[in-house]
Amino acid sequence: MRQVVAEWVLMHEISFSMVEDEGFNRMMRCAQPLWERISRFKVKKDCVTIYNNEKAKLKRLLDATSKMSLTTNLWKSKNQKMEYMVITVHFIDSNWKLQKRVLSFVHVPPPRRGIDIYNAIYNCLMGWGVEHKIMSISMDNASANDVAMHHLKRNFSRTRKLLCGGKIFHVRCCAHILNLMVQDGLGQIKEVIQNVRESVLYINASDARLIDFSKIVKTLSLPTRKLILDCKTRWNSTYQLLSTAVVLKNAFSMYSDMDDHFNTCPTQEEWEKVELVCEILGGFNRTTNLISGSDYPTANLFLQEIYGIKIILDRQVSDDRAFVRDMILKMKLKFDKYWGDCNMLMSIASVLDPRWKMRAIEFSFPKIYTNNKATQNIAKVRSILVKIYAEYESMQSEIVNEANFSTVNPSEGVSSSNVPSSSLNSTALGFHEICEYVRTVETIPPPRSELDLYIEETCLMLDRATSSSFNALVWWKENSMKYRILSKMTRDILAIPITTVASEATFSARSHIIDTYRASLAPETIQILICGGDWTRSTYGVKKKFKVNNLFIAYCIMLFCHNLLMHDIHLLII
């Protein structure tokens, strides 16, 4: 029972002192009469034990994994003014399931230079013994991160641990780039956004105003929507603010006629701007949600999304309205800065999607790049793809040779000494002459690699509904025996995340914040809580959610304990 409580503390980030609460213990005794009160120190000790056990399990899992990718993020401590780095590993296991685990949550001392970030990452990899297995590292677009990646790439290149010379080693967080693009665009209409924000704030400030506003909404037969106030650092919440408010624009206008003090209502021209902005941001919102998923591969999906964004920008850049042109030009500058050159990872990953293969880049590159550059980039993708496959083919040959060397018995087989020498003398000349003749008249085609066969086969044809729910990992699992080498290569590439954070935190422009409770703990204890909690949730298939009231969670534990007790009593009766 103590282990269950400790796992609960880790999984749901509960304070250690919760187990000393009188209400909690009364509830536990009600569910399990044999329950004995424990102290915060005992539950912490139990959490450390679980942490060590889960760490050993994860170590065995990583030892059995050939390649893996990393993401990093910085967290800030609210009270201590300290910064921590969370390092997360991503890989696809032997059952073709995408896995994600927190490897480390360490304090990075100021001034948090690139060399400090490098040391934190490298020490973590050395501690786990996986420094030779890293496929790629996804990081935000910060100068310190670029310095850290430079040192890591140089270190790994020295020992020849990087695939294809490190061409897909450094992955810039695509969600962060999208965020920079959107923030630049929103800056062009900040006065309009402020008017909408002030209008929502004014209505929400009084119950009487809300009642009057609701009556107007009902009179106009408008959809009932809750007025949302945005967080200025989260562009998606600003998008939600605008998209909700614009539906109720007529209600705002009518309310302004009733209330003389309401002087921030946007004009008709401003509402038109909001509608256009929402139309543009809708595509970015959908793309960011899609590429920030953590339960499915994202690298193979991004090329189509980049193409869609390019279409939006090209369509709007010549708009008659000056504010639209200004907004789109700002966004295009960011697009060209980060995606003006061919993104090798997203291109290779799209080829490894059986729905598209080479067709995706053949179709989209001429529309994203100039004609000459498109042709060059297509050839470059094919060349890098062949080189990566050749490395995997070489690795597989080494494995086969080692296996053959360890199993061959020199005493087995037929020795030429067993064949009569007279037979050799009489047949050797004729045999060699026939072989020479065959070589002169027969043309032996070069062997076809799995990559060649895969690309030459037709693409997987699916209708729109089926394609939207298509799981590339399932397809590759089913075809892994057909493409033994290529499937291993694909498994490692599709595990690479193109964003550094999960979707619920993607839109924030701020760093993650450690809550007040955890900020009061020692860095070593925070490491145990963060990593141990992540590993325990993975063990039991529990998704991390926003914090729930401790008493509600305790109530759930009580129900679990009660059911456990009833089960034990039932066994005794039997």
More confident residue, 227 or 236: 227
Question: Quick check: helix, strand or coil at residue 30?
Answer: helix
More confident residue, 78 or 353: 353
What gap in Å lies between CA 250 and CA 273, rounded to an integer?
15
Q: Tell me how crowded residue 167 is: count the other CB atoms within 10 A of its CB.
A: 16
Question: Quick one: average pLDDT of 24-51?
Answer: 91
What gap in Å lies between CA 242 and CA 503, rounded to an integer?
20
What gap in Å lies between CA 536 and CA 49, rounded to an integer?
12
Question: Quick one: average pLDDT of 331-350?
Answer: 90
What gap in Å lies between CA 461 and CA 366, rounded to an integer?
23
Binned at pLDDT 50, 70 and 90, residue 416 comes out as very low
- 508: pLDDT strictly greater than 70: no
Task: Give the distance from CA 384 to its chain's centroid.
Answer: 23
Binned at pLDDT 50, 70 and 90, residue 443 comes out as low
This prediction's pTM: 0.83
Question: Quick check: helix, strand or coil at residue 98?
Answer: strand
Percent of the chain with pLDDT over 90: 53
What gap in Å lies between CA 28 and CA 33, rounded to an integer?
8
Question: Quick one: average pLDDT of 280-299?
Answer: 87
Q: What pLDDT sits at residue 406?
A: 55
Q: Is the peptide bond before 111 cis (omega within 30 degrees of 0)?
A: yes
Q: What pLDDT sits at residue 405?
A: 53
pLDDT, tens digit, for every residue of 257-274?
999 999 999 999 999 999
What gap in Å lies between CA 316 and CA 541, rounded to an integer?
44
- 383: pLDDT strictly greater than 50: yes
Least confident of 202-206, 422-426, 428-432: 422-426
Average pLDDT, the chain: 85
Burial of 476 (0-12, 13-18, 19+ CB in 10 A): buried
- 401: pLDDT strictly greater than 70: no
pLDDT, tens digit, for every residue of 452-506?
999 999 999 999 888 888 999 999 999 999 999 999 999 999 999 998 875 444 4
Are 156 and 162 contacting, i.e. CB atoms less than 8 angstroms apart? yes
Beta strands in 148-280 (DSSP E): 170-172
Q: What pLDDT sits at residue 296?
A: 84
pLDDT, tens digit, for every residue of 100-139?
999 999 888 888 899 999 999 999 999 999 999 999 999 9
Q: What pLDDT sits at residue 165?
A: 85
B/e letters for 57-73, b = 16+ CB within 10 Å, e = fewer, are: ebeebbeebebbbbbbb
What gap in Å lies between CA 560 and CA 11, rounded to an integer?
15
Binned at pLDDT 50, 70 and 90, residue 409 comes out as low
Question: Quick one: average pLDDT of 241-264?
Answer: 94
Beta strands in 498-560 (DSSP E): 512-514
* AA letter at 548: V
pLDDT, tens digit, for every residue of 199-230?
999 999 999 999 999 999 999 999 988 888 88
- 432: pLDDT strictly greater than 80: no
Q: What pLDDT sits at residue 192?
A: 94
- 418: pLDDT strictly greater than 60: no
More confident residue, 430 or 263: 263
